[in-house]
Amino acid sequence: MNHLAPCPNFIGGEWQTPSGVTTPVFNPSTGDVIAECPAGGLAEVNAAVEAANAAFPAWRDTPPIERARVFFRYRQLVEANFDRLCQTVSREHGKTHAEARGSIFRGLENIEYACGIPTLLFGDSLRNIARGVDCDTINMPLGVCVGITPFNFPAMVPLWMFPVALACGNTFVLKPSEKVPLSAILLGQLLEQAGLPKGVFNLVHGGRAVVDGLLMHPKVTAVSFVGSTPIAKYIYETGIKHGKRVQANGGAKNYIVVMPDADVAKTVENLATAAFGCAGERCMAGSTAIAIGAAAERVLPDLVKAANAIRVGPTDRAAQPDMGPVITAAHRDRVLSLLASGESEGARIIADGRSVKVPDAPRGFYLGATVVDGVRNNMTLAREEIFGPVLNVMRMVDLDAAIEQANKSVFGNGAAIFTNSGRAAREFTMRVKAGMVGVNVGVPATMAMFPFTGWDESFFGDLHIQGKESIQFYTQQKVVSSRWFGGDVGDVWKK
């Protein structure tokens, strides 16, 4: 019997293991249960929010430069524990070590961004806006902020949220996905070691009851979310109904347009990474390739070879595969069901990963890289987010038709084009309806200093995660107009 990893809450500076109902946490590579995540409830929510609320005044009044020093120390601790974090991510999510390392690096960039908070919080100032009157803007923290994070990036997405929120002077309650709680726990332990005062950061586990409790709690001021579109919409509508500021990132259906003049080798390499990286479980995955004219005949044969060559296997051991498992058996079965619907509706599977076998991990949740040709707009495969290692291929006659197809999607997260034509690239970037656009970049996900700008049903809210928009989201402006009387000041100017 495997030893189960502890899964405590972190409330008011104390690690607490609640009793009661739990949900299993799997190692997707083996199918083994590695932890039991507490279901949680209103008692834990209230305790965490009250602890954060009590800690807020002192943390708000801590000078920004001192808050920054906490994150300089935190960055050092994350770097010192880098391999441990990567192993935890791989074990509970199934990412390869290389994918886990990449995600932790992206998280580190957000910590580094938070270290610049003394400059990022600069306001505006104008002397003598009226006679003897000066005006200043001050960026003030909001209070208790909440992060609700998904299973697909157990460490990176929490690091999109709480470093900037805390550096701005807020306190924080993190609710990680119950499928992957262990990485968040380790991040919290390292934050405690960095010297963050008790109650400033809290962590509670659970499902719907915990989410609703946080959304409706009167002392919560702001909520950040990443997950599926239906849940993002629910988070947004419920949060704003209860007076919260909300940023809710949803799902995606990202199109990659391949022009006839695209570099074949580089395009195939990027398509494979975009579609099959992280087993397709990312909102920036390139899920549909639109081949223009002769591009299909030029690119598809090599793409099929590349997909068939991808080695699938367990990621929790030294010898690493090219691609790991999906998160659960139920998720694997959903992807298989979508592929079956595609076949029944007339699509053709030209690289088939459905029957992949992993002899040394027979109970793992595996799918091979799959390419589906002849996908049409009316098919279920074309409409729904698959979130698995599947690349749909559509064929179209020109760029106008491809842009029209991409713009029909209800989502608007990312889009990309592969071409050597500057004219085609400019046309695409100007006309496609997506918040993040790549030119010969298959996964145009932004870095910490730029916002993660989903559009339409890929995002609900006004201010996005990351970059300057994150500073705006986690602060509110106070405008101070001042005048001082005495002598000539504040009356009339005298020569």
Residues 6+ apart with CB under 8 A from 473: 222, 224, 245, 247, 463, 464, 465
Q: What is the C-alpha separation between 328 and 26, in angstroms, rounded?
A: 7
Structure tokens of 97? 């070590």
Q: What is the C-alpha separation between 154 and 82, in angstroms, rounded?
A: 14
**DSSP H helical segments within 121-207, as ranges?**
156-167, 181-193
pLDDT digits (tens, 9 = 90+) for 226-240: 999 999 999 999 999
Q: What percent of the chain has pLDDT over 90?
A: 96
Cβ-contact 232, 250 below 8 angstroms: yes
Q: What percent of the chain has pLDDT over 70?
A: 98
CA distances in angstroms from 131 to 138, 479, 484, 489, listed in the order given: 21, 17, 11, 8
Secondary structure class of 244 (helix, strand, coil): coil
Structure tokens of 239? 């949060």
Q: Where are the domains of the chain?
A: 9-250+458-480, 254-439
**Of 77, 70, 19, which Cα lies nearest the Cα of 43?**
19
Phi, psi (rounded to 5 degrees) for 207 = -120, -135
* Annotated catalytic residue, options 7, 37, 115, 283: 283
Output the pLDDT for position 487: 61
pTM for the predicted model, two decimal places: 0.95
7 is an active site residue: no
CATH architecture, range 9-250+458-480: 3-Layer(aba) Sandwich (3.40)
pLDDT confidence tier of residue 18, bands split at 50, 70 and 90: confident
Structure tokens of 63? 């000078």
- Per DSSP (E only), the strands in 170-296 are 171-175, 201-203, 220-226, 245-249, 254-258, 286-292
Cβ-contact 443, 286 below 8 angstroms: yes
Cβ-contact 26, 2 below 8 angstroms: no
Residue in this structure with the two tokens 């029909």, named with its chain if needed: 408
Is 254-439 a domain of CATH 3.40.309.10?
Answer: yes
pLDDT digits (tens, 9 = 90+) for 372-416: 999 999 999 999 999 999 999 999 999 999 999 999 999 999 999
Q: Is the pLDDT of residue 1 over 50?
A: no
CA distances in angstroms from 349 to 344, 346, 406, listed in the order given: 11, 10, 22
Burial level of 463, CB count in 10 A (0-12/13-18/19+)? middle
Looking at residue 116, what DSSP letter applies? Answer: T
Structure tokens of 431? 């006309």
pLDDT confidence tier of residue 20, bands split at 50, 70 and 90: confident
Residue 23: count of CB within 10 angstroms of its CB: 16
Secondary structure class of 358 (helix, strand, coil): coil
